[in-house]
Structure 1
Amino acid sequence: MNRLLFVFLFVCWQSAGSYAQIQTDICENSVPNNWNAINGRLSMNADHFKLGKQALKWDWTTAGKSILKVQSDAFKAVAANPRSTFVVWIYNDTPINDKLVFKFGTQDKTVSSFDFNLNFKGWRTAWVMYHRDMVGKPQADMDILTVHAPTTVKKGSLFIDQLMYDVTINPRSPMRDEQLPFVNPEGDKAANAHWNSLYAFNRTPHYLPLQVKLESTDRTDMAQITQRYKEQILSSAKTVGKNAVQDVEKAFSYWNIGRDGGRITGRPVYSTNDIELVSLSPTESVKETNRLSGIKRYTELMLLVAQLYQTSPDAVDKQKLEGIFIDLLDHLEDQGWAYGSGMGALHHHGYNLSDYYPACLLMKDVIKKHNKLDRTFKSMAWFSGLGRTLQLPDQLPSSNIDVFNTLLGSMLSSILIMDDAPEKFRYMHSFSNWLSKNIEPDHTIEGAFKPDGAVFHHGNLYPAYGIGGYSGITPIIYALSGTSFSVRQQAHESLRNSLLMMHYYTNPYKWPISVSGRHPTGNWRIPDVPYAYMAMAGMPDGSLKTDTLMASIYLKLNGKKQNKWATAFKSSQIKPVGYTRGHWNLNYGLFDIHRRQDWLLTVRGHNRYFISHESYPGANMYGRYFAYGQLEVLFPATKADDGSNFKDEGWDWNNIPGTTTLHLPLDKLRANIINADDYSGIEEMLISDERFAGGTTFKNQGMFAMKLHGHDKYDMGSFRATKSWFMFDNLVINLGSGIQNTIAAYPTETTLFQNYLKDSTDVLNINGTAINSFPYTKKGEAGKPLTIVDNRNIGYYIPDAGDIVLTKATQVSRDQKDSRKTIGNFAKLIIQHGNAPVDAGYQYAMLIKTNKQALESLALLQGSTKPLYKVLQKDNAAHIVWYAPQQITAVAVFGTNNKLSDSLLMGNNRPCLLMYQQKGEQLSMSVTDPDLAFYEGPDDSPLTADGKRKEVSIYSRNWYRSPAKPSVMQLLVKGSWVVKAGTNGLQASLQPDGNTLVSVKCTDGIASKIELFKENKRRI
């Protein structure tokens, strides 16, 4: 929440210079001198108010001829600002099927106009951008606004408040609603459409037929779902004291709600987006401005009242709580939080309104008693966007993690509050179908769950958002399980796989910094509760038998907490899961996972589809290099050590382990964050123009490779490198070639490690000698190998240490928020490539969880005739490594049909990642096409006048919603080979020269397995 407020403040400051745009409440103290009513009367009135304590009342007296006229030079400024927006709040006592017409111009002409429907009761607002949303275009000479009263009603009254002639706002914010259906129509296709498309959702017709007759099993299923979900709501209730009701009454009094006959008044209930309109200075704290976003505070009180009502045994207390809840409900509706209202803008309303829905569900009987059930259902359905579930399954747009995190339970509550009737059951079936479709694997970068198990948000692998999504979805999956409304098997499997993958890339609680998004704090933690709900939801095939794998992961994560889940799982003889072993590629997100013993190693890259980093104002301000090949090793945390090498106290953001970077002064590395276009907010999310990045896996081993190209935004267009990582058991071979740039002012470096030193005397072992000196510097010698065991027991073998520099030193830096100077002690090992290098490279190996004896043995082996591994090729054509213990060859081929130093692969039609093993007459292989091909052809980045790639939003790309395209990989393999009979999707054809052309389908960056046999040993 605080982050959102900061971003909104930043927008205001950007638009108004060094201070926020200032709002003056011209509808508070007296009728403005420049306002006049023709055939009507203007007065100040306290019956209704949105800001302050009174509003301007307009009584019109003549149908079609009553006009409110406002004259101001402020309108002249809007022609020069494409983001100028008109804002007003209007209160209507009596809904009518008519409209107001707002006209802007001069005494002689109208140049811009818009209509405002009056089919509502209560407060409604208009946020209308002059240039985009109105009919006509504003002109520099316009100085008059006329508001024309309805033509079909003889007379009437309206209240006007918070009128603002010219506000500069984020163009993504305004949303259309029942009063303003023409506003920001492109918002229905934008990245924030899940918030903004309420009007479109509300107009979606049912595609399912109405079930005329309800079966007893239908009612039983619905009752079970309702019971399960209500239990979840009540179990989340906070512990309250003996004076809970009195505390509620005190909290309720803050809102100053009162009734006078049929009229209700009280403190305004603000939306988060109202922060874009209010008067703020840069010196005001975010905490202070938080009070203006009152909807979250308000609905939290509603849920507390509802939970107390359900659990209180005292009849008097229940009566008090009933009255408080109905007052809260009515005042909320009157304030504009009602069916059909867009509140001007509702960005992120799923977070701030989340308690409203379960509160209403718990109070259904009370709401129904007061004859407000239909009204409440309509408002709940509107704000939750329930209509999105009514779209035909094959036409559904992808829903994102925000929806699952904040709106899924809201939609279910909206259905469950209905009385049992055919319409309710039709909604529930649509909801189940919609949920299934959106959990099933999505093949674009927009949706949430990918075929390889990656969880996505902002077009990127993003576990920090994923935990909210899992926490939102899994309770619903459990609530629906075992009923006719349970999700489809493929959906269940997809969610389960995604949860399993998160378990694989956490160790066991924390995930790597490289996938921390814009918050590289090292403090994120995997949630345990989703695994419990998935365990209780049963197996994907629909059987209700406990999912023991999910249960065992839950027991691992929850530690020794005693609760109903832990008791049930342990009584079923389920034990906590141990540390797993294997290798996984998440090529949606360009993230490789390698595990042995109790440690986790990951590698992260980027390309022309997946961003290098995400930075916001005050968040990850120095993270430009996060996906430049970041390699991390995580060990389990202990009381003395959190298992990571990272600490944001003196951390040098230029030297992220595994990356090849340009070492810049911090002021030049600091992100220059802008609002790149109308598709984005204030953020930086850069992509490359290179296609090649990805990994493959084979027999629990793996490799990852990428072609790195810096972004022109920071004049790094000449910065290039080709990088690869070969991961075999506890050995990692790291290769780099083609490192080059023309930037002579700063050095280019590859970082092997940057480790936080808990104690400056922490020992490093260098060529067998323990070093505890501090500070300390050592440079390698050209032509000589170097072995180093760092303070985390990770070994490094560098065959030629000529460019190596090892330091132990105190570092001064800035924290990731750029809010303060930081200092810390670090050990750092880098390879210096010099300034403006030309075709530089590197080669080194790592042994994870090792000691000096094991590392010395590796060095001896590599100097012998029987090395542990061989680097067969390291150039712009390919990186190839052979691993002796398993006789595995791993190949990254960056082009097509290049000459390779490989005895098996003779040609290829597409760049690829290949691993293989030949045992006698059998050849086993895995191949991956790293290009997911969301679009084909050359890079589509727009260019500036001087030919440089321009920064634009990832959301503006026309391929953002395009699915990955499969490819057919053709490999020319030496010798005569055949495919095992019955193998689908794989072909092997013998060529005239006696070699074999193998064709295999590749899709979604998932490794395709190949089994071949010598032609004279055909297997059937």
Structure 2
Amino acid sequence: MNRLWLVFLLLFAVTANSNAQAQTDLCEENIPKDWQAVNGSLSLSQRHFKLGRQSIQWDWKAGSKSLLKLKDKALAQVAGNPRSTFVIWIYNESPLNDKLLFKFGKEGQTACNFEFKLNFKGWRTAWVMYHRDMGGKPVPGMNTLEVQAPAASKKGTLFIDQLMYNVTINPRSPMRDEQLPFINPGADKAANAHWNALYSFSHAPGYLPLAKSISSNEITDLATISKRYREQVLPTEDKVHTVLPEIVQEFAYWNIRRDGQNITGRPVYSMNDTELVSFSPAGNVKETNRLSGIKRYSQFMLRVAQARATSKDAGEQRRLESIFMDLLDHLDDQGWAYGSGMGALHHHGYNLEGFYTACLLMKELIKREGKLDRTFKSMSWFSGLGRTLQHPHSLPSSNIDVFNTLLGSMLSAVLMLDDSPEKLRYLHSYSNWLSKNVVPDHTIEGAFKPDGAVFHHGNLYPAYGIGGYTGIAPIVYVLSGTSFRMQQPAHESLRNSLLMMHYYTNPFKWPVSVSGRHPTGNWGIADMPYAWMAMAGTPDGKLKTDTLMAAVYLKLNEGKRNQWTNAFKNMNISPAGYPHGHWNLNYGLLDIHRRQDWLLTLRGHNRYFISHESYPGENMYGRYLAYGQLEVLFPQSKTDDGSNFKDEGWDWNNIPGTTTLQLPMDKLRANVINADDFSGIEEMLISDEPFAGGTTFKGQGMFAMKLHGHDKYDMGSFRATKSWFMLDSLVICLGSDIHNSITEYPTQTTLFQNYLKHTSDPVVVNGLELRTFPYKENGIGRSMTVIDNRNIGYYIPDAGNVLLSKDRQLSRDQKDARETSGNFAKLTLDHGNAPLNAGYEYAMLVNTDKQQMKEMSLKMNSKAPVYRVLQKDSIAHSVWYATQQITATAIFGSNKVLADSLLISNSKACLLMYQQKGNRLSMSVTDPDLAFYEGSDDSPKDASGKRKEVSIYSRKWYRLPARPSIVKLRIKGEWATVRNNDGLVKAVVGKDGNTQLDIRCKDGLVSAVELVKPNQKKK
């Protein structure tokens, strides 16, 4: 996810363009006229500078009697802006165990204040929100600032640059550090705590005892880990393209100069600086970071370190070492040092990652220069290494950003230490922390879920997942086979999550429905995590090579030859075949169904899991992505990407599988706002309906949801009940209770919307090929069969409201950056405007032909149909599948009248599939409600009763675990459990001869039930 830093820069630039954000450097020409030094003096200095080429030097004497007095009209507006923030950069040449006192006031009366510790050398910044972080409260018309010098020092010097009196910033951003430990304390538990809680991490006491000595086996383990990790971060000689002249040229750009102990150079900006002011001449955020950002700087440090590690010339080595030490010292002087929060450091893991590896590669040089301890402290601070020192039982959940960008950084910091008991303690803490954070997490917050889903932003999010896998898997290998190896449950969890990604990719791309805010159809799996996991061995540690992980890697690299394919093939490992079966990821609400070489997925949402994620310029029309999106992916080839999707001309109203309101583009476009202080500028809406999810039975499956539109877009009256039954190559799709009061626009259910590579691509209707383009037809008849241009068949028993077209469509791309057009075939069911209790039924047959569809139509109109719909109403959706004699039912309430020959009653909403063969009854039961909270919907409402948009991170249940439940079923006849129910099921036969089943359910997982007739059990 290397592009994410730019996304956030653009987001914050949206909010950072008012009043003081436009301020330029304050001290390039002269000292501001409203500045006055009491018992001291002010002058311009080029000795240190943060912006421009000079700063204001403040020399003081007489300790606390020395004051810096400032006046500015910008202070008058502070009281009226709850996000107003004071910003200043200060350079200190000599650390002091003392502090500055900043006092803001009016007419000589102090209104608010804060203290700034001076226990540092170099540049440090303060971002202090007036209303939240200061003592006291700002008052209207404030106009003065007094800075009181340290009380214990008779004289001293400080340098001041880039002072801003009133900046509007994102309240999540400021973070506390060693200078300002009181700033934004709530950030330690916020959604972005992995970036912002560095102060808290650095003060973690540690829970493991310090060993008295280090054993020979431990020394061997440490050597193994160090060797493996260095091999990963060192480029092979054939990949080293950097030559010394190029490095010298880049080094000259940074203009680093030494004057005795003093060092200056081009400022190294952090990502958060762009919230305050644009530093590039053109005011361009992207240009600023390309020119002077920490990402460019840290990557350059890594290039220098890698060049030094592979250089064979002694003179070149010395020059590279000199350059590296200048870079390291200048970075420290700029404030990239232990204890410095840099104002805010969101996403620093992406931007600073080259720093850690570079330092590790240059460890011996840094040690020789006497700066090993300083460097280790800085590495541990910015990587948040202290987070690993917390006891595993009290650890907060770490997210994918940490695994993706900071995991290797933390290990680099540990490996900077010489072999010692302290290093052992850090490494054991690191390993324990990693294991604790990779075992399944039962909340929305963590990364890995019990069903194999990988999470970020409170949602199933494989685009972030691949970064997490890419970060974790190499570390699992590095630690494998040593006393620091990942614990078995964590290893199994990671392996299961990787397998699930293999199941919902085919074999490379994943469905658009799980693409988050990037619905481009181009995102896909990463292969290297499977190779590293293969080399890490099996979770139980018994085998040095995990052949299943290796087989998946080979599947992703069929036809390729590299060191990994050669190694695995030499072990007689064959590529994995296409998976076959059905899987539910009810954390994230994705169902996966696979046969032959195709993948079918379904996506829903409910009151816990969002319908979509939109950012400014990203997924601006994806409101319906989880309204029941059904996708079929075939394997990619040189001429076909295996998908029906193309952004060019795609109608975002007609996503296959969904039931949606057909809106004009301007009304479908997301209105992305900063909903509250818990979030950024984003849209992540949830429903108020708890029912959505799937279950699995003997490789078959079903998924159902109750759909409710969001009041943000006046869709509170929009409701539908939807279900899908996935049985071999057959998918039965049902809808009921479709209604809304919106008269302006029609409601439709989309069967398919397929990109046409050629306008002559056929659609087959009742056995007749239609190659005409353009083509439109409405209401074809009582029953109908259609085969689309991807050989997917559709049987529609009542086709009176069918809309079929082949036409050129005009649309907008998902970024809303341009108009698009493309040729598509589309089949929908039109429910009309403001429908009242409308419904639908249709069946899909994947990978079919005319003869199969003809046979299916004949069977469905005979006395021996392929399936029967037993019930389709607000109480339940139920289907009987003749081929396997399976009954599948989604029950939306409790103790209602059910059209089921076995089920008498139920205690709560659930999903049920069963099959009876003689005296044996097999069941799968799932409670789809993960119950992060119970009771009615907790969405805040406005005065009219409409649900308000609030951040998912603001919900009180966001960090609460899913709660288990007992589903009670009464079934006809006498039944008894068999031994393999693992205590999940209790069966009691009542006086009426029927059986009461108590079934334990948790985490949306399947509870498998095996029952027999009592007399059969005795046998």
TM-score, normalising length: structure 2: 0.99
Structure-2 residue corresponding to 1:762: 761
Q: Which amino acid aligns with 2:828?
A: I
Alignment of 1:202 onto 2:198: no
Corresponding residue of 2:121: 121
Aligned-partner Cα distance in 1 for 2:451–2:958:
19
Partner of 1:525: 524
CA deviations on 1:710-744 (whole Å, 9 max, x unpaired) are: 00000000000000000000000000000000000
Residue 580 of structure 1, CA deviation: 1.4
Matches within 5 A, 1:85-484: 85-235=85-235, 239-241=239-241, 244-279=243-278, 285-291=284-290, 294-484=293-483
Deviation of 1:982 after TM superposition, in Å, equals 6.4
1:686 partnered with 2:685? yes
Alignment of 1:597-676 (within 5 A): 597-676=596-675
Aligned CA distance change for structure 1 residues 981 and 452 (closer, same or farther; 3 Å): closer
Give the letter for the 1:45 counterpart.
Answer: S
The DSSP-based 3-state class of the residue aligned with 1:1005 is coil
Matching residue of 2:842: 844
Amino acid at match of 1:848: V
Amino acid at match of 1:63: G
Q: Is the 8 A contact 1:518 1:613 kept in 2?
A: yes
Equivalent residue letter for 2:810: V
The equivalences for 1:959-998 within 5 A come to: 959-981=957-979, 983=981, 984-998=983-997
Report if aligned partners of 2:269, 2:289 keep a CA contact under 8 Å in 1.
no
Alpha-carbon offset, residue 561 of structure 1: 3.0
Instruction: Go from structure 1 to structure 2 and tell me whether the alpha carbon gap of 1:1019 and 1:745 turns closer, same or farther (over 3 Å shift).
Output: farther
Q: Is the 8 A contact 1:302 1:356 kept in 2?
A: yes
Structure 1 residue identity aligned to 2:107: Q
Return closer, same or farther for 1:856/1:727 CA change in 2, 3 Å cut-off: same
Answer with 5-14 or 564-573: which moved more. 5-14
The match for 1:553 is 552
Q: Secondary structure at the match of 1:64?
A: helix
Distance 1:521 1:363, change over 3 A: same
Cα offset for 1:15?
A: 5.9
1:654 CA displacement: 0.3
Deviations 1:431-481 (A, max 9, x none): 000000000000001000000000000000000000000000000000000
> What is the RMSD computed on CA atoms of the aligned residues?
1.4
Whichever residue aligns with residue 925 of structure 1, its letter is: M
Contact 1:20-1:282 at 8 Å conserved across structures: no
Instruction: Mark the CA change 1:907 to 1:844 in structure 2 (over 3 Å): closer, same or farther.
Output: same
What percent identity do the matched residue pairs reach? Answer: 68
Per-residue CA shift, 1:73-127, capped at 9, x if unaligned? 1100011110111000000000000000000002321001000000000000000
In structure 2, the partner of 1:705 is 704
Residue 653 of structure 1 deviates from its aligned partner by 0.2
1:3 offset after TM fit, Å? 5.1
Post-superposition CA distance 1:865-901 (Å, at most 9, x none): 0001000000000000000111000000000011011
**C-alpha distance in structure 1 between counterparts of 2:512 and 2:281, whole Å:** 31
Aligned mates of 2:185, 2:769 — CA distance in 1: 67
Structure 1 residues 238 and 901: CA distance shift in structure 2, 3 A: farther
For 2:688, the aligned partner's letter is: D
Cα 1:16–1:267 shift into 2, 3 Å: closer
Q: Match for 1:1004: what amino acid? A: D
* Native 8 Å contact 2:213 2:420 kept in 1: no
Deviations 1:923-980, CA, capped at 9 Å, x for gaps = 0000000000001111110001111000000000010000000001111111100111
Q: Are the counterparts in 2 of residues 7 and 682 from structure 1 also a CA contact under 8 Å?
A: no
C-alpha distance in 1 between matches for 2:790 and 2:555: 24
Q: Tell me, yes or no, if structure 1 residue 46 matches structure 2 residue 23.
A: no
Q: Within 2, Cα distance between the matches of 1:147 and 1:310?
A: 48
Displacement, 1:289?
3.0
Instruction: Please give the residue correspondences for 1:826-905 in structure 2 after superposition, counting only pairs within 5 Å.
Output: 826-905=824-903
The 1:24–1:460 alpha-carbon spacing in structure 2 relative to 1, beyond 3 Å, is same
Q: Could you tell me how far 1:206 is from its partner in structure 2?
A: 1.1
1-side partners of 2:305 and 2:177: how far apart?
Answer: 29
User: 1:614-635, CA deviations, whole angstroms, 9 ceiling, x for partnerless residues?
Assistant: 0000000000000000000000
The alpha-carbon distance between structure 1 residues 416 and 32, as it changes in their structure 2 partners (threshold 3 A), is: same
Deviation at 1:11, TM superposition (A): 3.9
Amino acid paired to 1:923: L
In structure 2, C-alpha distance between the alignment counterparts of 1:102 and 1:9, rounded to whole Å: 32
Distance 1:1018 1:875 in 2: 37
Indicate conservation of the 8 Å contact 1:1013/1:1019, yes or no: no
What TM-score comes out, normalization by structure 1 length? 0.98
Question: How far apart are the structure 2 equivalents of 1:595 and 1:235?
Answer: 39
Residue 267 of structure 2 contacts residue 292 of structure 2 at CA under 8 Å; is this kept in 1? no
Deviations 1:390-415 (A, max 9, x none): 11111000000000000000000000
Evaluate the alpha carbon distance shift between residue 392 and residue 732 of structure 1 in structure 2; reply closer, same or farther with a 3 A threshold. same
> How many Å separate the matches in 1 of 2:934 and 2:11?
37
Residue among 912, 933, 936 paired with 1:935: 933
Deviation for aligned residue 1:822: 0.1
Question: What 5-or-longer segments of structure 1 have no aligned partner?
Answer: none
- Structure 2: gaps spanning 5 or more residues: none
| Mapping 1:504-583, distance limit 5 Å | 504-583=503-582
User: What residue identity is the alignment partner of 1:919?
Assistant: K
Q: Distance in 2 between matches of 1:321 and 1:280?
A: 29
Count of aligned residue pairs for this structure pair? 1017
Once residues 298 and 230 of structure 1 are traced to their aligned partners in structure 2, the CA distance between those partners, rounded to angstroms, is 21
Aligned-partner Cα distance in 2 for 1:304–1:543: 39
3-state DSSP of counterpart to 2:63: coil
Distance 1:879 1:976 in 2: 26
Shift, 1:910, TM fit: 1.0
Q: Could you say what secondary structure the match of 1:433 adopts?
A: helix
Amino acid at match of 1:90: I
Distance 1:936 1:774 in 2: 53
Partner SS for 1:235: coil
2:20–2:165 CA contact under 8 A, matched in 1: no
Amino acid of the residue matched to residue 266 of structure 1? G
For residues 260-287 of structure 1, what are the alpha-carbon distances to aligned partners after superposition, in whole Å with 9 as ceiling and x for unaligned? 0000000000001111111389985554
Given residue 801 of structure 1, which amino acid in structure 2 is its aligned partner? A
Letter in 1 for 2:152: T
Instruction: Specify whether residues 282 and 956 from structure 1 end up closer, same or farther in structure 2 by C-alpha distance, changes over 3 A only.
Output: farther
Instruction: Work out the CA distance in 2 between the residues paired with 1:743 and 1:47.
Output: 68
Contact 2:26 2:32 in 1 (8 A): yes
Q: Which residue of 2 aligns with 1:917?
A: 915
Aligned equivalents of 2:484 and 2:398: distance in 1? 19
* Secondary structure, aligned partner of 2:651: coil
Cα drift, residue 998 of structure 1: 0.6
For residues 767-846 of structure 1, the aligned pairs below 5 Å read 767-782=766-781, 784-846=782-844
Cα drift, residue 236 of structure 1: 7.2
Structure 2: which amino acid aligns with 1:490?
A: P
- Shifted more, 554-563 versus 659-668: the winner is 554-563
Q: Secondary structure at the match of 1:379?
A: helix
Contact 1:928 1:1006 in 2 (8 A): yes
| Cα distance per residue 1:312-346 (max 9 Å; x no partner) | 11111110111011100000000000000000000
The CA distance in 2 between the partners of 1:203 and 1:508, in whole Å, is 45
The one-letter amino acid paired with 1:475 is P
Deviation, 1:293, is: 5.3
Deviates more, 1:277-286 or 1:540-549: 277-286
CA distance in 2, matches of 1:47, 1:647: 57
